[in-house]
Amino acid sequence: MRTTPLSLTFRWAVLLLSLPLSAQLSSGDERYARLTPAEAPEVLAQFRASRLPADTCLKVTITHKPRRGDDAAPVHGLLWVGWADGGPRVRFEARDSQGRQVYAFIAKKNAQASLLWASQNGQPAQAITAVGLGSPLAPGLLLTPFDLHLPFTHWEKSDYVSTERVVGRPAHVYLAKNPQPGTPSQVRFALDRAYGAMLSAISEDTQGKALRTLQVEEFGKAGDQWLFAAISVRDESTRDVDRLQVTHAALNLRLADGFFDPRSLTQPANTPSDEQFKPL
């Protein structure tokens, strides 16, 4: 079951996180009322604390859609989401047609740090210390670990900007400043006013020029759990787009200790059984 952001009534957070419905929009102009200085950091803190009720694994396809020409062949992958030490954990593996791992990364973040390790073709994982867009998940793609890890949501200097209409929804907009020199210099991200869901994130240069835009395109339901079902990343200079589509979700998992240890990236992770995966 799928729906679009305009009709969805649920809570989604950090990428990849969702919570039960619990809020209703106010009527009239109050939907766009600015947050007070006390409310703004509280809304951001609630968003950062949002999480799935249990470990989850998603089957995904990533398709590059150039502005001109045909779509590229999709890249297939698996995305695991967990939680530990006060923050989300993400593991992604891109696999070829024989199921061999060709690229993988593990990312962790909380209020103290944002950490990322990547591995190519089963080689020992390398720590990625630069905070930026980085290299794509596969040749020909735009999508990078940055777009799935979303480190900017926990950057220390993240200031409330406005409450405005974003993809048809009243949303609170924050501007996060990169703690290191690099690209992007800042990210402008929008949280749905009613449910705290991240609707979009615009990576910008030092002058505030948009470099690329990430947007949640669809949401879907696996069993009783609402999840994001599709996101897009658009390069603002070429207008090329990558679309990540979630096809199946395995919910209520209990991942083993060490699953998010970067040393484990030399081998593909064990995949949930077919019976555990539910279609979106």
Mean pLDDT, rounded, for 62-88 = 94
**Of 181, 120, 176, residue with least CA distance to 151:** 176
What is the pTM (predicted TM-score) of this model?
A: 0.87
Structure confidence at residue 246 as a pLDDT band (50, 70, 90): very high
Per-residue model confidence (pLDDT) at position 2: 58
> Average pLDDT over the chain, rounded to whole?
88
- Tell the burial category of 183 from Cβ atoms under 10 Å away from its Cβ (0-12, 13-18, 19+): middle
SS3 label, residue 259: coil
Percent of the chain having pLDDT more than 90? 71
Separation between Cα atoms, residue 23 and residue 155, nearest integer Å: 27
Condensed to tens digits (0 to 9), the pLDDT of residues 151-168 reads 999 999 999 999 999 988
E strands within 71-133? 75-84, 87-95, 101-109, 114-120, 126-127
Residue 151 or 84, more confident: 151
Q: Please answer whether residues 268 and 95 qualify as being in contact, where contact means their C-beta atoms are separated by less than 8 angstroms.
A: yes
Per-residue model confidence (pLDDT) at position 25: 37
Q: Please answer whether residues 170 and 197 qualify as being in contact, where contact means their C-beta atoms are separated by less than 8 angstroms.
A: no
Tell me the β-bridge partners of 59. 78, 248
Residue 145 or 196, more confident: 145
Condensed to tens digits (0 to 9), the pLDDT of residues 35-69 reads 999 999 999 999 999 888 899 999 999 999 999 99
SS3 label, residue 31: helix
Is it the case that residue 268 has pLDDT exceeding 80?
yes
Structure confidence at residue 18 as a pLDDT band (50, 70, 90): very low
CATH of 2-279, one of 2.50.20.10, 3.40.190.10, 3.30.2320.30, 3.60.110.10: 2.50.20.10
- Helices H, strands E: what count in the chain? 2, 17
By mean pLDDT, which of 105-119, 182-196, 220-234 is the weakest? 220-234
Which residues does 174 contact at the CB level (< 8 Å), separation at least 6?
A: 44, 158, 159, 160, 161, 188, 189, 190, 191
Domain assignments of the chain as residue spans, ordered by start: 2-279
| Alpha helix positions (H), 4-91 | 39-49
